Amino acid sequence: ITKIILDTDPGIDDVFAILFAQAHPAIELKGITTVYGNVTIENATHNALYLKQKYQLQADIVTGASKPIVRSPLGPTVVVHGEGGFGDVMVPSEVEGQADPRPAYQYIIDTVKAEPGEITLVAIGPLTNLALALQADPTIVDLVKQVVIMGGAFGENNHSGNVTPFAEANIHDDPHAADMVLTASWPVVVIGLDVTEQSFFTREYLDKLRDDAGEVGQFIWDISRFYLRFYSEKVGLEACHVHDPLAIAYVINPALFTLREGPIRVVTDGVAEGMTIQKLDSRVYLHDEWMSKPSQKVGVAVKNLELLELYRSSI
Ligand code: BDR
Ligand code: CA
């Protein structure tokens, strides 16, 4: 069993991922740390508490950062995830339960230190909480089992982002945090758009989830109506990408993915702000900004049919 802390900005595909992690027996979902991104931080924590109540999650819910470390905040992506983050589904204004009193970065540090080598951090929102944890206690790099990230875009023809031609949303939201997290010497696996845009939930697939997966399937179907409309109207796709669940799928079965290795940097300002770049050659350069950075793993392909079957059979 892999113990995870899931750092998330829920968010429609974040819900797909949370319910996947909760459902699969190979994962113990210890904590859900929230972050601004798809929604405000207040909204993100409220949504997480609602899911905890609705599905009797054992996971602690912990409030994280409300804004990026350096850049100015971009605000919620209402056009993609709806006013409250769950598309057309309105979360009740009163939910039971409370968030852990600690800030998310402190919860991450405490949990990792309590079980050295045991905790996998799975981040499916902007990387601010992980960067703040690193800043507050750099020793956690040696105590975390692994860091799995949904974010970034490494496309080969220089056109690969989703919020700009070069940048993916989670990285673009806090490029400084992302650069810290991706260049720290802990083992990182990045599952970016190069992989997540290879996989789709079609209308038929979601209909089948609704029919076969009880109340959870119905909820996934309900929140995905808005997401499908966004993809249809703005992206020209009659399906939605399966972004965040792929990070969970990697934890469950890494063999579904093809990876490549090399140090990663993030462009922190300018027209390519938020762009992720991986050094793939073995040449030695004079510039320490690249040569001193650890090699990390980036997903380049996924066995899509097996992934969809894994998701369907788990939910
Ligand atoms: C990422 O951005 C958010 O909209 C999604 O939840 C996902 O984490 C995809 O770029
Ligand atoms: Ca997300």
Residue 54 has pLDDT above 80, yes or no: yes
Residue 156 has pLDDT above 90, yes or no: no
Residue 173 has pLDDT above 60, yes or no: yes
Output the pLDDT for position 159. Answer: 61
Q: What ipTM was predicted for this assembly?
A: 0.99
Ligand 1 is surrounded, with C-beta below 6 A, by: 11, 13-14, 38, 77, 80, 124-125, 150, 162, 168-170, 243-244
Output the pLDDT for position 70. Answer: 97
Output the pLDDT for position 272. Answer: 95
The 10s digit of each residue's pLDDT in 199-250 is: 999 999 999 999 999 999 999 999 999 999 999 999 999 999 999 999 999 9
Output the pLDDT for position 155. Answer: 86
Of the given ranges (103-107, 111-115, 142-146, 279-283), which has the lowest mean pLDDT? 279-283
The CA angle 111-114-117, to the nearest 5 degrees, is: 90
Residue 288 has pLDDT above 90, yes or no: no
Residue 174 CA, ligand 2 centroid: distance in Å: 13
Output the pLDDT for position 260. Answer: 96
Candidate from 243, 246, 250, 275 with most ligand 1 atoms within 8 A of CB, to mutate? 243
Residue 8 has pLDDT above 60, yes or no: yes
Q: Which residue has its alpha carbon closest to ligand 1 atom 4?
A: 38
Q: What are the residue ranges of helices labelled H in the chain?
A: 12-23, 41-54, 78-81, 104-114, 128-136, 169-173, 175-183, 193-196, 203-212, 214-230, 245-252, 288-291, 304-314
Residue 157 has pLDDT above 70, yes or no: no
The answer to whether 243 is a known catalytic residue is yes
The answer to whether 35 and 125 are in contact (CB under 8 A) is yes
- Separation of alpha carbons 264 and 139, rounded Å: 21
> Two tokens at 233?
């109207």
Residue 158 has pLDDT above 60, yes or no: no
Output the pLDDT for position 150. Answer: 98
The mean of the pLDDT values for the chain is 96
Locus of tokens 């690249």: 290
